[in-house]
Structures are given as structure tokens and as C-alpha cells.
A = this chain, B = another copy of it.
Amino acid sequence: MAKAWYLTSRPTGLPTAANFALREQPDAPLEPDQLRVRNLWLSVDPYMRGRMNGTKSYATGFQIDQPMTGGAIGEVIESRLDGFAPGDQVLHMGGWRDGGVIGLDMMPNKLPAAALAAGMTPQTFLHNMGLTGGTAWIGLLRVAAAKPGDVVFVSAAAGAVGSAVVQIAKAREMIVIGSAGGAEKCAWVKDLGADAVIDYKAVPILPALARALENLGKAGIDVYFDNVGGEHLDAAFAVANDFARFAICGMIDVYNDGKAQEMKYLIRTIPARIRMEGFIYTDQFIDCMEEFYADMGGLIASGAVTIRETVHNGLDATPKAFLGLFSGENIGKMLVKL
């Protein structure tokens, strides 16, 4: 019998294991347009924290005493959906569970056979060819309208989204400054091609950013890709060039504590004519899906965009993997392998 993780209470501040419970899922015969899958890979992502709040946030939040959802790769074991057959590998939104019934509301998509045949791993569709790579690509190239020669600052650059931003930006001939927490993560970001890397756990971010710019012979940043908020965001305001664009993807610094952010340089919005814009992948993905797959597929195939995976094993480990996102445990993409 399939099992799924349920949200049993809404976290206040940092979630804990006590907010979740693993429960058996009732078996049911398939209705038309449904699949039964056995999941192979589950994704855990910072955005899921926002969906755990009861307050007005993303359009559809997680409901109490309902199974959680999220990106997953499954293998079809039974199908009443045209075009899907047992053995097919599918990307769908029925994560946080080891399998079960997947309807059209879970947006099942067959992984492209050509990509798999060329050696792309299935879980790539949970990161660089999926949510996190798509978020990086849309945020950098569409929301921030970054172009060759721009100086791009990206926070949480060793995360799944940040590492993709670094590599896409370098492939497009931008100058990249990344921040990450700790020597190991910083070394990896440097390996990805960043022109400068700041260990924000070792040094205060604003003076380090100013020094990095000076070393690169640059006056300021043209683009900030924000995964962090707080002091990182304020530092970006401090060193923004005129007409800088900030793509606000996440504020992992403040998802859990709800404290006010102290913005000393927000006022530079006016003299520097900064444009700051929050975005969500799903708003924009449909419009650029084909272009994204073609471009990102090429970057991955050529080796220009790679990733590291931080993998937890087994369905039981899912909440632990999720919580690890907020303690900075992951390098690259956090995944659960079933």
C-alpha cells in the first residue's frame, strides 16, 4: 500500500518533524485519465515552506491532514491515460509519497526518450531541466533581462537555483559574483565559473561585495538574483548600478522567522532607478517552455551547466531532506531517492 507524507499542523517559524506524518494511502481502481506510478525520485524545495502557511501566500497552499505534493519522477505501473504505458518515466507533482494514483491535476509529463537515450538522468527533470533550472533561466534572462557584459550577483549560489544562475550567466558572457555559506560550497561555485565568490558565513556581505567589485574593476552590479533576502538584498541595493534589475526568487533568510528586514539602502531605488520584481516559475513557464528546453538542454549537453545532488534515501527521510534546506545542508539540488 502506498504511503504519503501529510501536513498535520502548520509550522510557526522553522518547521519540525512534528508537522508531518507518514500515512497509508487507500488503494483505488484507476478512473479514466489516471495513472498509477511508483516514484523513483522526490524533490524538496524551499518554496514548499510558503505553502505550509495558512496565511495568504501562494494561490494554493497545503491543506492540513492532506498529502503534501511536489515534483517527483515516477515509473508508470498502470495507465488509463492516453499516451502513457507501464514502464514510462514521468515527471509529475505527486511527490512526498512513494507512489499512487496520479490524475491530470498532478500534471504528468513523460520524460523525453531522446534526452534519456543521450544519457540525461531522470532526476535532471527535477533540477536543471525542471523547476530549479527553469526558475534560474526565467529569473535571470526574463525577469532581470540580464545580457552579456552585465555584472550579476547571485545569493545562495551553491543551491539548486543559484548554481544554475551562475552557469547560465557565464555561458552568456556575464560577470558573476556568487555568495555561499562555507568553504566547500564556495569552492564549488568557483569551479562552476563564478568570477568571485563570497563566503557570507566568514565575512559581512556588503564590504565583501564591494571588495569583489573593486577586484573585478566594476563599479556596481547590473543584476541581483535573490534567493536569500535580508542583508544580501540590502547589500545589492547598496552597490546597484543605475537601472539595475533585481529578480526576487526567494528569501530563505526570512521564510521562517518572520522578522522585519532592516533595509538601509532601499532608498537607492530612486536615484539608481532600480527595478525589483518578485516572480514565480509557474506564472511564466508555459510561455517559454520550448525555448527553455532547447536552450537549457543544449547547455547541459555541452557541459556548460552541471549540478551536484545532495541525496537522502527512502521516503522516511523526506521531511529531514526538506528541513535540511533551511540549515544549509545541501550543495546543489536536494533530492530523495526511493
Contacts and interface: CB of A to CB of B under 8 A. Distances in A.
A269 B273 contact: no
A85 interface: no
A278 B283 contact: no
A302 interface: no
Interface string A222-264: 0000000100010000000000000011110011001111111
Contacts of A56: 271
B229 A271 contact: no
Contact of A278 (B57, B259, B260, B273): B273
Interface in A258-304: 258-264, 266-280, 283
A275 B272 contact: no
Interface core residue of A56, A259, A274 (most chain B CB under 10 Å): A56
A248 B277 contact: no
A229 B279 CA distance: 22
Given A276-B275, A277-B276, A266 B263 contact: yes
A270 B283 contact: no
Given A260-B264, A263-B261, A280 B273 contact: yes
Given A260-B262, A262-B260, A275-B275, A267 B280 contact: no
A300 B1 CA distance: 73
Contact of A271 (B254, B271, B272, B280): B280
Interface string A299-336: 00000000000000000000000000000000000000
Contacts of A261: 262-264, 266-267
A229 B173 CA distance: 36
A267 B261 CA distance: 9
B267 A229 contact: yes
A251 B272 CA distance: 13
Given A50-B271, A250-B270, 7 more contacts: A50-B270, A56-B271, A251-B270, A262-B263, A263-B263, A270-B280, A274-B278
16 contacts: A58-B271, A233-B266, A248-B270, A249-B270, A260-B263, A261-B262, A261-B263, A261-B267, A262-B263, A268-B278, A271-B278, A272-B278, A274-B277, A275-B276, A276-B276, A276-B277
- Sorted nearest first, the 5 A-B pairs with minimum C-beta distance are A269-B278, A260-B262, A270-B278, A260-B264, A275-B277
